[in-house]
């Protein structure tokens, strides 16, 4: 599990952690029911405030990515299959959007783009 | 508290040896002093040890550290007073050892013996100095107490040589004479006890003053 | 549970300086950085907490107890590190430990040995022969070897190289794994230590300017730069501190998102460092 913190980024550190843990869950690097490091341990490892990691975990919990069991720790939620799928679809959508705008800048037609997609779908 | 006394010795290490050897120098240098030799020698040695212990206390503002530790101010102060007696015993033992060497080897040196009178006058002068000095030290620290201490030392240093003489020959003051006679009539042991009691009372009062001053000090 | 450290209306006057009824609270499980320029009152506050100075007014409660009434018990549970060495320099590491260890009820010799080995401190060397970094590590070792719940440090990293500072950072991170413990440290340079601080208290001229979660500061405050033409009354008023030069202005605002919304691309808005925040607050004081 990798989490990289940028101190120069305008994005709050807790937000960076939330984002990265979400991605780890979505990518399947963190699997269902897997235990996350404790708030204090994560703060120590990243050399950041406990308040920051606490806020990040609270955010993740609120969004349903993780569940915290008092006295035991935080775990990747078991009930987020749909959520995960939705999130993953959003990633696909984002990437496709990127592809479409790239295609448009070079004047590629929808027809050509579809063909390309079909070929790629078969190949991969 | 015991460890704080040991600290007062550890802190000086080589100087302890130097102070003890200083007694030999004093004996040789003050050959004509006769009976006062012990008092002067041991007082000088004890005094030196007390001063060094106090000096090191000031060097790194160690009061800040000591007073941040879970130790009562009364213990810090009492330990210094206890150190005075420990230093006196060390000085006395060193003197006694040197006395033994001189007598056994037959070195032609005049050296007064360690007897009751000497011990009493020794402890009296040591307590007199430290009883006055320590409250000042606990009030202002070593550096600021240096001047007062200088005056004190010389007055006692020269005063000490008269102390025994005064005690033995102060027949001119009738009431003092009467007291001395009354006490000495009851024998040497009784005299010693009375003296020791007076010294202890003096030291205890000095300790109370020092503690009061130390409690009001800021670091 | 009551706060591990609570200061209420604490005041102390000297001839040329006074601490003006300051308040602050530190809960268990957190690290508080106490920042401010030289002479702002940081050391005075810490000395008052340790009862090295006598307060004129106010209240200091540590572990929920009065810091004078229960002084001995409190000091048993506090570890302290000062900006300079106050141990007896003529003693060796081993001897100094012997003197100090006898005074703590909860001395943990195993912990002492562990830190000595970790810091590679030579037991038989006199304290005066230790380097500055080693002296600090020795003080830290003593502070951590009696199961202290509260660690109080006055400018622990002043004059130390980055390597030692980062080691200290690591130790503090380990210490705070225990959520019953807390750390209170002061510094005049906002050092690397601030990275792990949960709360920041800024003091200037004997007054607490703010005492707040560090994240709130860094996530909301903003360093705004731009052309002087943009500088209208509206914007001026939102500045905590403002610097103007020939080519533009730079200032600190409390709500950077608000400024972004209002001025958009016309100004450059950046995330400030704690140093920026401290400088603008203390400089404003000077300008007024």
Which chain A residues are within 8 Å of C215, Cβ to Cβ? 12-14, 49, 51-52, 55
DSSP symbols for B29-97: HTGGGGGGHHHHHHHHHHHHHHHHHHHHHHHTTHHHHHTTSS--HHHHHHHHHHHHHHHHHHHHHHHHH
Q: Are C192 and C166 in contact (CB under 8 A)?
A: yes
Burial B157-196 (b: 16+ CB within 10 A, else e): eeebbebbeebeeeeeeeeeeeebeebeeeeeeebbebbe
Q: Residue C282 and residue C241: Cα distance in Å, rounded? A: 9
Q: Which of C169, C218, C271 has the CB atom closest to A47's CB atom?
A: C169
Q: Residue C180 and residue C46: Cα distance in Å, rounded? A: 21
C33–chain B nearest CA distance, Å: 20
Contact between C90 and B65 using a beta-carbon 8 Å cutoff: no
Mutate to test the interface with C, among B7, B58, B74 (most CBs of C within 10 A): B7
Q: Which of B3, B72, B218 has the CB atom closest to C53's CB atom?
A: B218
Q: Provide the CATH topology of domain A13-76.
A: Arc Repressor Mutant, subunit A (1.10.10)
Residue of A nearest to C32 (CA): A49
**Residues linked to residue C212 through DSSP beta bridges, in sequence order:** C200
- C182-187 and C150-154 beta bridge pairing: parallel
Report pLDDT for B183: 67
Here the tokens at position B179 are: 């007291």
Count how many pairs of residues, chain B against chain C, have C-beta atoms within 8 Å. 71
Helix (H, G, I), strand (E, B) or coil at C158: coil
Residue of C nearest to B62 (CA): C86
Here the tokens at position B111 are: 């050296």
Domain extents in chain A: 13-76, 81-123
Angle made by CA atoms B66, C202, C77, in degrees to the nearest 5: 30
Q: Residue C177 and residue B33: Cα distance in Å, rounded? A: 70
Which chain C residues are within 8 Å of A49, Cβ to Cβ? 31, 195-198, 213-215
Contact between B69 and C104 using a beta-carbon 8 Å cutoff: yes
Calculate the average pLDDT of chain A.
Answer: 86
Question: Of the ranges A106-115, B35-44, B165-174, B185-194, which one carries the lowest mean pLDDT score?
Answer: B165-174
| Confidence check: pLDDT of C223 > 50 | yes
Whether chains A and B touch (3+ CB pairs under 8 A) is answered by no
A60-116 confidence digits (pLDDT tens): 999 888 888 888 888 888 765 666 777 778 888 988 898 898 888 888 888 988 998
Mean pLDDT across B77-85: 93
Burial A102-114 (b: 16+ CB within 10 A, else e): eeeeeeeeeeebe
Report pLDDT for B71: 92
Residue of C nearest to B219 (CA): C52
Report pLDDT for C161: 84
Contact between C82 and B3 using a beta-carbon 8 Å cutoff: no
Domain extents in chain B: 2-215
Which chain C residues are within 8 Å of B12, Cβ to Cβ? 90
Residue of C nearest to A52 (CA): C215
Q: Is pLDDT larger for residue B98 or for residue B176?
A: B98
Which chain C residues are within 8 Å of A17, Cβ to Cβ? none
Q: Residue B111 and residue B34: Cα distance in Å, rounded? A: 7
For tokens 């991605």, name the residue.
Answer: A23
For tokens 């409660």, name the residue.
Answer: C61
C94-105 confidence digits (pLDDT tens): 999 999 999 999
Domain extents in chain C: 5-213, 222-271
C137–chain B nearest CA distance, Å: 15
Q: Residue C59 and residue C9: Cα distance in Å, rounded? A: 7
| Confidence check: pLDDT of C287 > 70 | no
Question: CA C89: distance to chain centroid?
Answer: 26
- Contact of C63 with chain B, judged by CB distance below 8 Å, is answered with no
Calculate the average pLDDT of chain C.
Answer: 89
Report pLDDT for B159: 65
Mean pLDDT across B7-24: 83
| Confidence check: pLDDT of C42 > 70 | yes
Q: Is pLDDT larger for residue B142 or for residue C146?
A: C146
Kindly report the pTM of this predicted structure.
0.83
Cα separation of the two ends of chain B: 21
Query: Any residues with CB less than 8 A from the CB of A121 and at least 6 apart, and which?
Result: none
Report pLDDT for C288: 38
- C199-204 and C207-213 beta bridge pairing: antiparallel
Q: Is pLDDT larger for residue A79 or for residue C87?
A: C87
Please tell me which chains touch A, using 3 or more CB pairs under 8 Å as the contact test.
C
Tell me the backbone φ, ψ of residue C32, rounded to 5 degrees: -115, 130
CATH architecture of the domain C5-213 equals 3-Layer(aba) Sandwich (3.40)
Which chain C residues are within 8 Å of A47, Cβ to Cβ? 169-170, 173, 195-196
Q: Which of C53, C85, C99 has the CB atom closest to B3's CB atom?
A: C99
Which chain B residues are within 8 Å of C95, Cβ to Cβ? 7, 10
Contact between B3 and C103 using a beta-carbon 8 Å cutoff: yes
Nearest to B133 by CA among B165, B161, B155, B162: B155
Q: Residue B30 and residue B205: Cα distance in Å, rounded? A: 33
Model confidence at B69, pLDDT cuts 50, 70, 90, reads very high
């Amino acid at each position: 599990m990798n989490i990289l913190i940028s101190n120069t980024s305008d994005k709050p550190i807790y937000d960076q952690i939330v984002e990265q843990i979400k991605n780890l869950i979505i990518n399947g690097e963190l699997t269902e029911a897997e235990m996350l490091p404790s708030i204090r341990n994560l703060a120590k490892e990243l050399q950041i405030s406990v308040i920051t990691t606490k806020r990040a975990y609270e955010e993740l919990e609120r969004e349903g990515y993780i569940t915290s069991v008092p006295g035991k720790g935080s775990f990747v939620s078991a009930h987020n299959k749909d959520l995960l799928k939705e999130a993953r679809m959003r990633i696909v959508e984002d990437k496709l959007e990127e592809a479409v705008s790239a295609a448009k800048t070079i004047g590629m037609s929808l027809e050509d783009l579809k063909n390309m997609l079909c070929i790629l779908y078969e190949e991969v | 508290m015991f460890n704080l006394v040991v600290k007062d010795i550890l802190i000086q290490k080589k100087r302890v040896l130097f102070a003890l050897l200083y007694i030999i120098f004093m004996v040789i240098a003050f050959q004509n002093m006769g009976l006062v030799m012990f008092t002067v020698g041991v007082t000088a040695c004890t005094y030196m040890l007390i001063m060094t212990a106090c000096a090191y206390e000031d060097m790194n503002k160690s009061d800040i550290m000591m007073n941040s530790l879970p130790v009562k101010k009364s213990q810090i102060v009492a330990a210094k007073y206890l150190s005075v007696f420990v230093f006196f015993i060390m000085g006395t033992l060193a003197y006694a050892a040197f006395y033994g060497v001189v007598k056994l080897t037959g070195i032609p040196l005049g050296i007064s013996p360690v007897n009751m009178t000497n011990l009493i006058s020794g402890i009296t002068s040591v307590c007199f100095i430290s009883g006055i000095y320590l409250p000042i030290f606990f009030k202002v620290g070593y550096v600021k107490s240096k001047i007062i201490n200088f005056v004190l030392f010389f007055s006692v240093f020269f005063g000490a040589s008269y102390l025994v003489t005064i005690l033995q020959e102060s027949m001119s003051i009738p009431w003092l004479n009467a007291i001395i006679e009354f006490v000495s009539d009851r024998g040497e042991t009784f005299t010693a006890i009375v003296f020791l009691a007076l010294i202890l009372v003096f030291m205890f009062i000095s300790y109370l003053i020092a503690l009061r001053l130390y409690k009001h000090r800021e670091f | 549970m009551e706060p591990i450290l609570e200061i209420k209306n604490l005041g102390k006057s000297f001839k040329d300086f006074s601490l003006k009824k300051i308040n602050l609270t530190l809960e268990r499980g957190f690290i508080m950085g106490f920042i401010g320029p030289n002479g702002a009152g940081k050391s005075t506050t810490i000395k008052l907490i340790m009862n090295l100075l006598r307060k004129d007014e106010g209240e200091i409660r540590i572990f929920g107890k009065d810091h004078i009434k229960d002084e001995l018990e409190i000091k048993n549970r506090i570890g302290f590190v000062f900006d300079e060495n106050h141990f007896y320099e003529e003693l060796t590491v081993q001897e100094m430990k012997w003197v100090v260890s006898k005074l703590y009820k909860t001395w943990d010799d195993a912990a002492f040995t562990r830190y000595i080995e970790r810091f590679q401190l030579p037991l038989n060397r006199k304290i005066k022969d230790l380097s500055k970094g080693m002296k600090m590590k020795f003080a830290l070792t003593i502070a951590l070897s009696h199961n202290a719940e509260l660690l109080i440090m006055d400018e622990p990293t002043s004059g130390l190289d980055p390597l030692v500072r980062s080691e200290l950072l690591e130790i503090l991170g380990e210490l705070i794994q225990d959520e019953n413990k807390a750390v209170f440290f002061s510094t005049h340079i906002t050092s690397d230590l601030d990275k792990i601080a949960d709360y920041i208290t800024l003091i200037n001229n004997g007054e607490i300017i703010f005492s707040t979660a560090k994240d709130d500061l860094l996530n909301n405050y903003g360093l705004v730069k731009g052309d002087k033409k943009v500088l209208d009354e509206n914007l001026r008023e939102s500045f905590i501190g403002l610097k103007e030069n020939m080519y533009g202005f730079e200032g600190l605002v409390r709500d950077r998102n608000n400024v972004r919304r209002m001025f958009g691309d016309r100004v450059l808005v950046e995330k400030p460092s704690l140093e920026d925040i401290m400088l603008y607050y203390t400089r404003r004081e000077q300008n007024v």
